[in-house]
A and B are shown apart, each in its own frame.
Chain A
């Protein structure tokens, strides 16, 4: 081999080493390989290697092209390692049958993968249907109002408290907070592993937000109430959980999914609800300290309950949020969960609740409940047709 060729290779190795070291600062993606699973399946594997710090987690955005033409890949056509991805080998799977290219041959398909920091907040505009994501640096810029660091002892977090100063976020927009995958003890006893990040609405759905989706228009920023499980998910396919995440087109969630294009909107499962409410704490309420229902002074800073509510619901966001910036998870109005009710907690990995029964779970207690009934672990149940006036809900967005 000629000396020049050897020098080129050595230089290539050196550049490779330098690039590898530089990756410690900014996440990078390399070694991207695209291949359809011929002859077995039309699914397309997009393999890659992510270089970043060992503790870092990033989202991966996918841009696809056929030659120079940009392709639109629907969110639900992509699965695999896209959210909160650790360093190392990853795979994203694209299902062409869930895209607009079902009956096409794409002769020059290629992708561009970009690692991006996982956003903290997701803002869905119910009028324009646009979705905006806010990262930690966006919040730090000051453009979005006040933020608070580590609001709850023992949990590291940054939350957006300025969100309560603009009623748009309670009327024409939905604000959701990224909830990290993790493990906790449900009810203090059953180990639960939630393997995927999801977004949780920071407020209970308000009258105004319901009105924007289902009508009639309203300007009230109090939680919507007297909506049955069937109103929210539908009485046809919407009753099929846990066998399916599908909802009826004419239900609140059906209309919300269709309008925003965000297919992951749903109610939280029982396990997701307690996890999002605890927000990393193990305390009786989400203050990180309380151990029983005698902490009524603390409770009154967190929730509208029997002793401070004047026996009525209140505008959302009026009390202290939890460590992940979620308001009114306890008190104000109770919140529907996705699962059927059983007195025994199932626990496990991504639990979906018991088999079909007669009542659905609801959580969090309400303005008329005593201190022990607004505890994080307290569980209720009622038939899915119930339109009780203490029942509201909060939406989440499941990530694929």
Chain B
């Protein structure tokens, strides 16, 4: 089954949990869709079913929730004002097959389709929240620089103490001799899902540069996507 099909299957399987119009005290794991990502730590998913919650604006009567994954597949669900919680099944199995990043957008509107609010959140699925992970402590490691599929890249101002007062972050990905992409984040803590496959990047060496606005700190990295999985450029 393709990733897209899997995601769509998850959408279909998702459950609605009807509650009142107000958000109640959250049990463990509830995620408030509110766009406030200035948290100390990353917004991470810890179960395959995520309890999403939100607050309705006064004049909104309906809402549309769009959840877009790393590959660009969007799952859309519509709600009326009687609903303020949604149990979203992020992936079908208990443990995710791959890491992923989801952008959540909740569009609030009136009966006349006038948009009266847009709430966003970003959630990451990382292996380390579900069990053992691989830790590469080898200083000069071939595997460290190798990429061959879509990857999740963390950005976090607390990586560097001097960046803790930063207001936003920027990640530049530049293929040597090829295309470049600049990603500006309104927050300073999170994950970026780099869609490497089927997105025109091709093979080669990529220079990454992570910066935080208002600071001089730069976090460079060089990654290589080898054509046959064996050619590596070592720095």
Determine the main DSSP class of B at the interface with A: mixed
B6 interface contact, C-beta 8 A? no
Q: Count residues of chain A with CB under 8 A from any CB of chain B.
A: 47
Given contacts A91-B40, A102-B137, A110-B133, 20 further A-B contacts (CB under 8 A): A9-B87, A13-B27, A17-B27, A19-B27, A19-B28, A30-B46, A31-B29, A33-B128, A33-B129, A35-B127, A35-B133, A38-B144, A41-B159, A42-B137, A97-B137, A101-B135, A103-B138, A105-B143, A106-B137, A109-B132
Are A13 and B17 CB-contacts (below 8 A) given A39-B208, A42-B137, A110-B132?
yes
Question: Complex Cα distance A19/B14, Å?
Answer: 24
Shortest 5 CB-CB contacts between residues of A and residues of B: A34-B128, A96-B137, A108-B132, A16-B27, A39-B221
B97 interface contact, C-beta 8 A? no
Contact B223 A39 (CB under 8 A): yes
Contacts of B44 in A (CB 8 A): 31, 33, 47
A20 interface contact, C-beta 8 A? yes
By a beta-carbon cutoff of 8 Å, the part of chain A in contact with chain B is 1, 5-6, 9-10, 12-13, 16-17, 19-20, 30-42, 44-45, 47, 49, 51, 65-67, 89, 91, 96-97, 99, 101-110
Q: Which of A16, A49, A107 contacts B134 (CB 8 A)?
A: A107
Q: Which of A5, A45, A89, A103 contacts B15 (CB 8 A)?
A: A5
Are A40 and B159 CB-contacts (below 8 A) given A5-B15, A35-B133, A104-B137?
yes
Nearest B residue to A96 by beta-carbon distance? B137
Nearest-CB distance from B19 to chain A (Å)? 10
Contact B49 A31 (CB under 8 A): no
Contacts of A102 in B (CB 8 A): 137, 139
Q: Which of B42, B44, B133: most chain A Cβ within 10 A?
A: B133
B154 interface contact, C-beta 8 A? yes
Contacts of A99 in B (CB 8 A): 137
Contact A40 B154 (CB under 8 A): yes
Contacts of B129 in A (CB 8 A): 31-34
Contact B223 A105 (CB under 8 A): no
Contact A47 B159 (CB under 8 A): no
Are A105 and B133 CB-contacts (below 8 A) given A33-B128, A39-B145?
no
Are A89 and B41 CB-contacts (below 8 A) given A13-B27, A39-B144, A39-B153?
yes
Q: Which of B51, B137, B138, B143: most chain A Cβ within 10 A?
A: B137
Question: Complex Cα distance A49/B158, Å?
Answer: 17
Question: Complex Cα distance A96/B134, Å?
Answer: 13
B104 interface contact, C-beta 8 A? no
Nearest A residue to B143 by beta-carbon distance? A105
Contacts of A20 in B (CB 8 A): 27-28
Contact A1 B13 (CB under 8 A): yes
Question: Complex Cα distance A65/B17, Å?
Answer: 38
Nearest-CB distance from A92 to chain B (Å)? 11
B123 interface contact, C-beta 8 A? no
Contacts of A12 in B (CB 8 A): 49
Contact A30 B28 (CB under 8 A): yes
Q: Which of A16, A49, A65: most chain B Cβ within 10 A?
A: A16
Contact A34 B133 (CB under 8 A): yes
Are A36 and B27 CB-contacts (below 8 A) given A13-B17, A13-B51?
no
Contacts of B49 in A (CB 8 A): 9, 12
Within 8 A of A (CB), among B202-229: 208, 210, 219, 221, 223
Within 8 A of A (CB), among B87-145: 87, 126-129, 131-139, 141, 143-145
Contacts of B210 in A (CB 8 A): 40
Nearest-CB distance from B8 to chain A (Å)? 15
B39 interface contact, C-beta 8 A? yes
Contact B42 A109 (CB under 8 A): no
Contacts of B127 in A (CB 8 A): 35
Question: Complex Cα distance A259/B158, Å?
Answer: 34
Contacts of A30 in B (CB 8 A): 28, 46
Nearest A residue to B42 by beta-carbon distance? A47
16 chain-A/chain-B pairs, Cβ below 8 angstroms: A1-B13, A30-B46, A33-B126, A34-B133, A35-B126, A35-B128, A41-B219, A42-B137, A44-B135, A47-B44, A89-B40, A96-B135, A97-B137, A102-B137, A104-B137, A105-B141
Nearest B residue to A32 by beta-carbon distance? B129
| Chain B 152-172 interface 0/1 with A at a Cβ cutoff of 8 Å (1 = within) | 011010110000000000000
Nearest-CB distance from A295 to chain B (Å)? 45
Contacts of A67 in B (CB 8 A): 132
Q: Which of A38, A47, A104: most chain B Cβ within 10 A?
A: A38
Nearest-CB distance from B167 to chain A (Å)? 20
Contact B139 A106 (CB under 8 A): no
Contacts of A19 in B (CB 8 A): 27-28
Nearest-CB distance from B178 to chain A (Å)? 18
Nearest B residue to A33 by beta-carbon distance? B129
Contacts of A108 in B (CB 8 A): 132-134
Contact B17 A9 (CB under 8 A): yes
Nearest-CB distance from A190 to chain B (Å)? 24
Contacts of A32 in B (CB 8 A): 129
Nearest-CB distance from A19 to chain B (Å)? 6
Contacts of B141 in A (CB 8 A): 105
Contact B154 A6 (CB under 8 A): no
Question: Complex Cα distance A2/B110, Å?
Answer: 32
Contacts of A40 in B (CB 8 A): 154, 159, 210, 219, 221
Contacts of B208 in A (CB 8 A): 39
Nearest B residue to A49 by beta-carbon distance? B28
Question: Complex Cα distance A302/B49, Å?
Answer: 62
Nearest A residue to B51 by beta-carbon distance? A13
